[in-house]
Amino acid sequence: MEQLGSYDPMSNNYGKKLIALNLDQMWHCIAYGAHLSKPVEKFVGLSGYFPQHLTVVANAERL
């Protein structure tokens, strides 16, 4: 088990929630058969590195 990133759900002084992802290592693990959880798929999709998860697109269309 590797830690490929971190997420701080508490807002910082600017009202932003922060996430850090090691995308290169994540891609390496996926190439060897690893699967991303739904929340991680959403974060990675929002980063623009992978296609957006379908629930992110569906939620945006409702707004």
pLDDT at position 59 is 64
CA dist., res. 2 & res. 37, Å (int): 14
- Domains observed in the chain: 5-62 (3.30.1320.10)
Q: How confident is the model at residue 60 (pLDDT cuts 50, 70, 90)?
A: low
* Residues 21 and 8: beta-carbon distance below 8 Å: no
pLDDT at position 28 is 92
Average model confidence (pLDDT) across the chain: 81
pLDDT at position 17 is 87
Closest CA to 32 of 2, 6, 52: 2
The tens digit of pLDDT for each residue in 11-52 reads 999 998 888 989 899 889 989 999 888 888 888 887 777 777
* Residues 56 and 42: beta-carbon distance below 8 Å: yes
| pTM (global) more than 0.75 | no
